[in-house]
């Protein structure tokens, strides 16, 4: 059993829980109640007693756990409360989970991103549950005049077997509130877990399938108007003038006017990434009326000159060059080629120049990937109602705390006067981190002095950013006369972001190793995309390692394990950010589960593995060509993300990652012509179709006692190369450029 300090006072316990992120803070009101029958325990209580931010206990023992982080389909609204309930020894069937609003006083890191919610919340959530359980035990012991060591907890009850006494938590909560916080609390060993490691259905499923209003697009308020925006048609252009006289005369239109979402001198933080800040807003009574009026607004635009944008990147202040001009795919490609010739060294081990000079064989390959659009199922939307110095907002976003700060500065209204209700996200993975549409909604509401819901059309979203950056990486490998890998060189960059992680595998496994990186400034708005940077790094790296293994005459899976054994036995360098044992663990697991080396006739196989977001994932993909089309038969995924809280939810994440990755690798692409995004809707931006999904997906987890790490993103990056490598086996053609569908010849 693990023992953790719970601090010396209630105040310090509450503060430390909050600062650690996702902590549970509890306080109790006096509970005047008598024993309830089992039937009564299954009904809603007559009175709820609020537990300072995170928990409410009913007079019948029901427990409500507030889920602080936004829910975007990754199932933390179920998994995080499970962690609390485990240490609390609560009966899950008597737990009610509710989405908490933004509350910066009681919660910290109240956002999703980087696959960190469970990892960061693991210890605080457990400690909070265990501390409350200890208080309840102490209260029962005092009431029954027995030692605490003789009291056990089970399914929300306190039990003293010697005297046959039993009470539900609600009966002793008021006494527990008066007791001092224990200095140390025991946490369960993993062997004692009863709830963690079992599959629990998403707590929102009944509401989702019955159409209950959970999403921002469902949000309604009396007197609410609908708003839409018009942004410039091209990156590198800005609003010059407009004529809305015809639109204002149309039925149901309240007003048409210019808005400015962010002021020019505003110091942008990490997630204030948006190119278009001068917009035309249309406000009306219904979506249809506003969409029709939007079509007849006449607008003139003018070029944007290059400018410096003030930045505050989590305390690191600086500036970013935003170039003028209208970019096209060809001009972007030329700039990237020139930048690659002037790359800067990011890591250097040994003497790579000498290794390449004496090599018997050199393999060099270049990989590219285009801009990508998120295409969340739920359109971008947000409700806002600004009344004087008060603001109420509601909708789907990933970083509410950070957005709230930007909103406060833009409106000149104190943060404490802003309330943000978080709805369920109908898709996110980075797109809803950049919630400029919330600020736009609030500015529009302030202008018309009415509650409004701002809605983006699919065309608005696909042509305004935020995109995954455009990338390019050239790999070089040096093999000696014995086909041993003696040198490795990476030259990579992007527009406008460098994607490289210089300390990841195969760093540490090759004696002579060189990483060079570069960036090209752009006025195209980019940002986080599921597994940022890693999604392309893994695709290029794992595809190249497959080709190197072939050149060396080695099995591609065994070749990876061989390199990892070298990194374990004699690691090169001191900053390698992966664990060779855990990396090898997922490769061995996927090897075993896929019966690697025993594939069926007519089936082509590819393998891939990657480490990111503190977790490890490996995949084997089986496919064949049927009637000239790629038919994916099966994908086997092995993951090491530490302790799995909710296995069904974890499998769902991995299955979604596989399908998402296949679709993006095969079809995803946004292109530009003189600053204009060419793909504006699904008629030109190809998405994966149901018949193109794998016929089977199997997911396996490495069983260990490591504290949980990330899972929303790690299973996504290796999919790209597993697909590329299996396509090579099927067609004889290597996949160097995304989307793959443009380069498959059967």
| 611-661 confidence digits (pLDDT tens) | 999 999 999 999 999 999 999 999 999 999 999 999 999 999 999 999 999
Instruction: Catalogue the E-assigned strands of 286-374.
Output: 298-303, 307-313, 316-322, 344-349, 361-369
Residue 496, in any domain of the structure: yes
Within a domain: residue 366?
no
Percent of the chain exceeding pLDDT 90 equals 76
The number of beta carbons lying within 10 Å of the beta carbon of residue 337 is: 12
Q: Are residues 451 and 557 in the same domain?
A: no
Task: State if pTM tops 0.85.
Answer: yes
Q: Are 205 and 221 contained in the same domain?
A: no
Residue 335 lies in a domain: no
Residues 645 and 569 in one domain: yes
Give residue 234's pLDDT band: very low, low, confident or very high (50, 70, 90): very high
Are residue 244 and residue 287 in the same domain, yes or no? yes
Q: Are residues 14 and 125 in the same domain?
A: yes
Is 596:603 a contact under the CB 8 Å cutoff? no
Q: How many CB atoms lie within 10 A of CB 17?
A: 28
Whether residues 530 and 594 share a domain: the answer is: yes
Do 551 and 631 belong together in one domain? Answer: yes
- Compute φ and ψ for 678, nearest 5 degrees: -85, -30
Q: What is the mean pLDDT of residues 410-416?
A: 94
Q: Are residues 101 and 63 in the same domain?
A: yes
> What is the Cα–Cα distance from 403 to 192, expressed in whole angstroms?
40
Q: Is residue 365 part of a domain?
A: no
Say whether both 131 and 230 belong to one domain.
no
Tell me whether residue 247 is in a domain.
Answer: yes
Cα distances from 386 to residues 248, 255, 401, 437, 576, in angstroms, run 23, 17, 18, 15, 50
Alpha-carbon gap, residue 540 to 725, rounded angstroms? 11
Does the residue 373 lie in any domain? Answer: no
Dihedral sign for Cα atoms in the order 231, 234, 236, 240: negative
State both tokens at 256: 């048409």
Enclosing domain of residue 389: 216-307+380-455
What's the distance, CA 426 to chain centroid? 13
Answer yes or no: is 644 within a domain: yes
Coil, helix or strand for 169? helix
**231 in the same domain as 205:** no
Task: Check: CB of residue 718 under 8 Å from CB of residue 608.
Answer: yes
Give the pLDDT confidence of 66-98 residue by residue, as tens digits: 888 888 888 989 999 999 899 999 999 999 898
Residue 602 clears pLDDT 60, i.e. is over it: yes
φ and ψ of 383, to 5 deg: -95, 140
Last residue of a domain, one of 209, 230, 265: 209
Q: Which of 496, 542, 548 is nearest to 517 (CA)?
A: 496
CATH number for position 44: 3.30.365.10
Q: What percent of the chain is predicted at pLDDT more than 70?
A: 93
What are 176-180's contacts with CB under 8 Å, separation 24+?
176/28, 176/132, 176/135, 176/136, 176/138, 176/139, 177/27, 177/28, 177/29, 177/30, 179/135, 179/138, 179/139, 179/142, 180/9, 180/10
Average pLDDT (207-216) is 92
Provide mean pLDDT across the span 117-134.
Answer: 87
**Residue 590 tokens, joined:** 């996927």
Per the structure, the count of domains in the chain is 3
> Is 413 in the same domain as 503?
no
Distance CA 137, CA 133 (A): 6
Q: Are residues 160 and 16 in the same domain?
A: yes
> Can you give the pLDDT at residue 613?
95
Domain termination site, one of 455, 483, 511: 455
User: Among the three residues 422, 455, 488, which one is the final residue of a domain in this structure?
Assistant: 455
Assess if residue 314 is contained within a domain.
no
**Is the model's pLDDT at 31 over the cut of 70?**
no
Cα 663 from Cα 665, distance rounded (Å): 6
What pLDDT does residue 688 have?
96
């Amino acid at each position: 059993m693990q023992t953790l300090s719970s601090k010396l006072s209630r105040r310090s316990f509450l503060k430390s829980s909050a600062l650690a992120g996702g902590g549970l803070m509890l306080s109790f009101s006096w509970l005047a109640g008598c024993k309830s029958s089992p039937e009564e325990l299954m009904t809603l209580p007559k009175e709820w007693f609020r537990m300072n931010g995170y928990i409410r206990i009913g007079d019948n023992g029901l427990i409500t756990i507030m889920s602080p982080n936004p829910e975007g389909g990754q199932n933390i609204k179920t998994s995080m409360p499970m962690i609390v309930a485990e240490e609390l020894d609560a009966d899950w069937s008597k737990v009610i989970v509710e989405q908490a609003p933004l509350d910066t006083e009681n919660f910290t890191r109240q956002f999703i991103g980087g696959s960190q919610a469970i990892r960061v919340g693991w210890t605080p959530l457990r400690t909070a549950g265990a501390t409350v359980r200890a208080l309840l035990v102490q209260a029962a012991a005092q009431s029954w005049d027995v030692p605490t060591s003789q009291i056990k907890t089970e399914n929300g009850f306190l039990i003293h077997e010697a005297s046959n006494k039993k009470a539900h938590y609600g009966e002793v909560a008021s006494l527990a509130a008066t007791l001092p916080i224990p200095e140390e609390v025991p946490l369960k060993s993993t062997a004692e877990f009863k709830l963690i490691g079992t599959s629990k259905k998403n707590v929102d499923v009944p509401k989702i399938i019955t159409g209950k209003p959970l999403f921002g697009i469902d949000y309604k308020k009396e007197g609410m108007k609908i708003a839409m925006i018009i942004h410039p048609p091209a990156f590198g252009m800005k609003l010059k003038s407009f004529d809305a006289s015809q639109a204002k005369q149309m039925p149901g239109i309240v007003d048409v006017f210019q808005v400015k979402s962010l002021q020019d001198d505003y110091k942008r933080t990490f997630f204030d990434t948006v190119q278009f800040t001068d917009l035309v807003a249309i406000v009306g009574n219904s979506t249809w009326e506003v969409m029709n009026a939007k079509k007849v607004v006449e607008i003139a635009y003018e070029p944007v000159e290059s400018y410096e944008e003030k930045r505050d990147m989590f305390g690191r202040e600086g500036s970013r060059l935003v170039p003028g001009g209208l970019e096209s795919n060809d001009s972007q490609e030329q700039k990237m080629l020139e930048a690659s010739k002037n790359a800067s060294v990011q890591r250097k081990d040994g003497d790579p120049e000498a290794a390449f000079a004496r090599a018997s064989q050199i393999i060099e390959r270049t990989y590219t990937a285009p801009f990508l659009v998120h295409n969340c199922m739920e359109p971008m939307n947000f409700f806002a109602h600004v009344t004087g110095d008060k603001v109420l907002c509601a909708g789907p976003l990933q970083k509410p705390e950070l957005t709230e700060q930007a909103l406060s500065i833009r409106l000149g209204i104190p943060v404490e006067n802003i309330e943000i209700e978080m709805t369920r996200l109908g898709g996110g993975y980075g797109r809803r981190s950049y919630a400029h549409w919330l600020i736009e909604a609030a500015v529009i509401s302030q202008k018309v002095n009415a509650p409004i819901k701002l809605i983006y059309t699919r065309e608005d979203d696909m042509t305004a950013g935020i995109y995954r950056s455009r990338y390019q990486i050239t790999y070089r490998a040096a093999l000696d006369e014995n086909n041993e890998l003696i040198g490795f060189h990476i030259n990579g960059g992007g527009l406008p972001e460098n994607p490289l992680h210089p300390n990841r595998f195969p760093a540490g496994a090759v004696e002579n190793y060189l990483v060079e990186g570069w960036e090209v400034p752009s006025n195209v708005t980019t940002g986080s995309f599921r597994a940022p940077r890693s999604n392309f790094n893994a695709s290029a790296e794992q595809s190249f390692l497959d080709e190197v293994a072939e050149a060396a005459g080695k099995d591609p899976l065994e070749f990876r394990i061989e390199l990892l054994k070298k990194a374990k036995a004699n690691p090169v360098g001191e900053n390698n950010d992966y664990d060779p044992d855990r990396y090898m663990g997922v490769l061995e697991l996927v090897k075993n589960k896929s019966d690697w080396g025993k594939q069926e006739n007519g089936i082509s196989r590819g393998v891939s593995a990657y480490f990111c977001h503190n977790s490890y994932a490996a995949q084997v993909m089986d496919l064949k060509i049927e009637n000239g089309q790629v038919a994916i038969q099966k994908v086997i995924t092995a993951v090491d993300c530490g302790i799995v809280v909710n296995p069904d939810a974890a499998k769902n994440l991995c299955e979604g990652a596989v399908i998402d990755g296949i679709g993006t690798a095969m079809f995803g692409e946004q292109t530009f012509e003189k600053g204009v995004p060419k793909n504006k809707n699904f008629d030109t931006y190809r998405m994966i179709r149901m018949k193109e999904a794998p016929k089977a997906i199997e997911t396996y987890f490495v069983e260990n006692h490591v504290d949980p790490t990330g899972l929303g993103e790690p299973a996504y990056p290796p999919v790209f190369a597993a697909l590329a490598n299996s396509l090579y086996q099927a067609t004889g053609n290597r996949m160097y450029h995304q989307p793959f569908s443009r380069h498959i010849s059967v």
